Amino acid sequence: MSAAPPSVLTEGLTKIFGRFTAVDHIDLSIATGEVMGFIGPNGAGKSTTIRMLCGLLRPSAGRAVVAGFDVARKPEAVRAHIGYMSQKFSLYGDLTVRENLRFFGGLYSVRQSEMAERMRFAITMAGLEGRENALVNTLAGGWKQRLALGCAILHRPPVLFLDEPTSGVEPEARRRFWDLIHDLAAGGVTILVSTHYMDEAEYCNRVALIDRGRLAAIGTPSELRGHALGGALFELACSPLGAALAALHRAPGVIEANVFGDRLHVLLADASAAASLHTLLAAANVRAEAPRPIAPSLEDAFVRLVTRTRRPEAAS
């Protein structure tokens, strides 16, 4: 699409701890100004990947280029061009808001002439006006997270790595945090953000699903929703559910049928087969209403994708 080189590029990026492969040949390409979501269960390798991209862990194989610098060969140049928020809150609790900002501004060599303006910006952005001299330990979670983001962007980094920045933060503060992320992206900052909240994936331009160290799928939320399932999803109100499930599992054209609450979710290879479901179920003595097409949630898509990618392993 664009001739501009990607802000973040990984090729076969791999990290092995002893006999455990935490990250297994991940290929990623994130364009400038893109918000890329990193989704996956705990221990899937999201943090390890981000740490390699920050130059905190050495890749065991493959390579990664961030803001034009190879993370293994020029880690210091990478560090000067990124902002990073680690998974665990890691500002200094015994320092005030202003002292933390001044400290990181110093480490990032923010120009003295710019420092006051950048600090004001970070404080406003984080909504910390009036709390500049409060010890960070005394702040609530949402404020801490926004301050951490403020510290990470003092030096205007072109690339931002946020490792589960909203975990443990209340919903209102989470929404506010995502507003900040979009503001930054609108300003041209490339952002890789990991989360285990599925709803947050919807806020991303693209989403990468990581499972067991592998890239299970990548695409826009709607792409993933549409293609990931490999079929059309219908909701079916019927009874009894057991008999209906048994009948559907035998039926041709049905990829999957699962119980969702008091209804069934049925995945069909072809949407036109929905009309024939009624006859099929009637033959099995099941009373059913007309199947209703539903848009799959991202969660549906991820469950489906993860089961699909894991299946070959399970078979072997």
Partner 1 sequence: MSLRRVLALGFKEFLQVWRDPRSLAVALLMPLMQMVLLGYGVSLDIRRVPLCVQDQENSTESRALVEDFVASGWFAITRTLPDNAAVRTAMDREQCIGALVIPVDFSRVLAATGQAPVQSIFDATDTNTTNIAIGYAEGVISLATADFAARWEAAHGTRPTRVGVVDFEPRVWFNEGLDSKNFIIPGVVAVILALVGAQLTSLTISREWERGTMEQLISTPVQPIELMLGKLVPYFAIGLFDAAFCLAAAIFWFRVPFLGSIVTLALTTSLFTFVVLGIGYLISVRIRSQIGASQVALVLTMLPTTLLSGYTFPIDQMPAAIRALTFIVYPRYYVSILRAVFLKGSGVAELAFPMLALTLYAVFIIWVAARAFRKSLD
Residues that bind partner 1 (CB under 8 A): 51, 54-58, 75-76, 79-80, 82, 84-86, 88-95, 99, 102-109, 148, 151
Cβ closer to partner 1: 102 or 310?
Answer: 102
The pair of structure tokens assigned to 7 is 């802000």
CA neighbours within 13 Å on the CB side: how many for 281? 26
Q: Tell me how far, at minimum, the Cβ of 95 lies from partner 1, in Å.
A: 6
Q: How many CB atoms lie within 10 A of CB 193?
A: 27
Cβ closer to partner 1: 138 or 285?
Answer: 138
Q: Which residue in the block uniquely carries the two structure tokens 């179920």?
A: 281
* Those residues with Cβ within 8 angstroms of residue 149's Cβ, 6 or more apart along the chain or in another chain: 83, 85, 125, 126, 162, 165, 177, 180
Cβ closer to partner 1: 169 or 274?
Answer: 169
**Distance (Å, whole) CA 275 – CA 252:** 13
**Distance (Å, whole) CA 214 – CA 172:** 32
Q: Tell me how far, at minimum, the Cβ of 87 lies from partner 1, in Å.
A: 9
Cβ closer to partner 1: 148 or 207?
Answer: 148
Q: Tell me how far, at minimum, the Cβ of 20 lies from partner 1, in Å.
A: 14
Which helix or strand (DSSP H or E) is residue 275 part of?
A: helix 274-283
Q: Tell me how far, at minimum, the Cβ of 245 lies from partner 1, in Å.
A: 48
Write b or e for each residue in 54-90: b if 16 or more Cβ atoms lie within 10 A of its Cβ, otherwise e: bbbbebeebbbbbbebbbeebbebbbebbbbbbeebe
Cβ closer to partner 1: 97 or 280?
Answer: 97
Q: Tell me how far, at minimum, the Cβ of 48 lies from partner 1, in Å.
A: 9
Cβ closer to partner 1: 77 or 246?
Answer: 77
Cβ closer to partner 1: 62 or 231?
Answer: 62
The pair of structure tokens assigned to 205 is 């331009």
Q: Tell me how far, at minimum, the Cβ of 15 lies from partner 1, in Å.
A: 9
CA neighbours within 13 Å on the CB side: how many for 14? 11
Q: Quick check: 213 and 20 in contact, CB under 8 A?
A: no
Q: Tell me how far, at minimum, the Cβ of 76 lies from partner 1, in Å.
A: 6
